[in-house]
Amino acid sequence: MSPSGLDLSEPKPFKMPGFSVIGHRGNGMNVLQSSDRRTRGFKENSILSFNSAAKFPIDFIEFDVQGIVNESRVTDLSLSEFLLYGPQKEAEKTGKTLMRKSKEGQVLKWEVDSDDPLCTLQEAFERVEHSLGFNIELKFDNQVVYEREFLVHVLRTVLQVVFDYAQDRPVIFSSFQPDAAQLVRELQNTYPVFFLTNAGNQMFKDERRNSLEEAIKVCLEGKLQGIVSEVKGVFRNPSAIAKIKESNLSLLTYGKLNNVGEAVYMQYVMGIEGVIVDFVEEISESVTLMMIRPPSPSSPLPSPDLKDNVAAITRPEFSQKEIDFLLKFLSQLIQH
């Protein structure tokens, strides 16, 4: 560490453990206005959702730190105020009603089939299945220009909890806020940092957020280890994958298309290293059937040491013509 407390050393090399399935906000994000009951199964970002996702063969869960509660930023609430929302740990207590605003502007009561109290980052480390990695998304407002001092304060608070309680659990940090992503990398060199990007699907005043090319620049300038892109942005710009790999960066994706098994398989073929998904059970099963992930000692998957399994563990090879056809098909799918 430098006297300022910033770690300016070269980043440690990082690779995902094979093709990784990552549970979005645990066992999937809640979409309250959806007719699909799977989107309201478990309260997102809760211990219950995290441990429900851990029952399936996945490597990480993704969840938010510095989120929104009833349109109030968590950092604007005291810990006791934050924990007053939703179900309470003490059965005799009634929490404040949680509401949620949809992208369409509807304000809906946050009701799910299996509810759970709000939790802290420390509780997640203490109570979630220890073998499960954490992809911690650092949330900030899109419209706010943050002072460096504020970002440093918030990030150091989060990092202190991680260093105190993570032990040997795999941890990845990610953020859509480019300054925060670069800062969390400066503040530590233990855990990899990924830059989140909409990859042009939504435009922002900050040009760094508007393309995969800009995302690469953010990573190289800040010595980050990878990019998490909205999947449509990758399918629209597949040539960026080679540029990302040439830059020695990992590439993960998120988005609704990651709940479609065929779209996930196409990403596997293209060399993408992992997908963040809502339908954890379905996609983890699909991945197990369609491709082989490096098995853990207790895994029922075939061992790569067995000659009989050579065909099963080989990544499928497609000609460039075949890949171009599949990408054209996917681009047409994206338009609908």
Please check whether residue 12 lies inside any domain of the structure: no
Task: Express as a percent the part of the chain with pLDDT over 70.
Answer: 79
Please check whether residue 138 lies inside any domain of the structure: yes
Please check whether residue 77 lies inside any domain of the structure: yes
Please check whether residue 124 lies inside any domain of the structure: yes
311: pLDDT strictly greater than 70: no
86: pLDDT strictly greater than 70: yes
The pair phi, psi for residue 104, each rounded to 5°, is: -85, -5
Please check whether residue 1 lies inside any domain of the structure: no
Please check whether residue 164 lies inside any domain of the structure: yes
Q: What's the domain range around 263? A: 20-335
pLDDT interval class at 291 (50, 70, 90): low
Domain count, the chain: 1
pLDDT interval class at 4 (50, 70, 90): very low
176: pLDDT strictly greater than 50: yes
Task: Express as a percent the part of the chain with pLDDT over 90.
Answer: 60
Strands (E), the chain: 20-24, 60-65, 68-69, 72-73, 99-101, 107-109, 133-138, 171-175, 193-197, 226-230, 250-254, 274-277
* Region of poorest pLDDT, from 81-90, 119-128, 153-162, 275-284: 81-90
Please check whether residue 152 lies inside any domain of the structure: yes
CATH number of the domain enclosing 260: 3.20.20.190
Check if the beta carbon of residue 212 is closer than 8 Å to that of residue 238. Answer: no
Structure tokens given for 210: 């508007």
Ramachandran class of 144: left when φ > 0, alpha when ψ lies in -120 to 50, beta otherwise? beta
pTM of the predicted protein model: 0.84
pLDDT at position 158 is 94
Please check whether residue 3 lies inside any domain of the structure: no
pLDDT at position 303 is 40
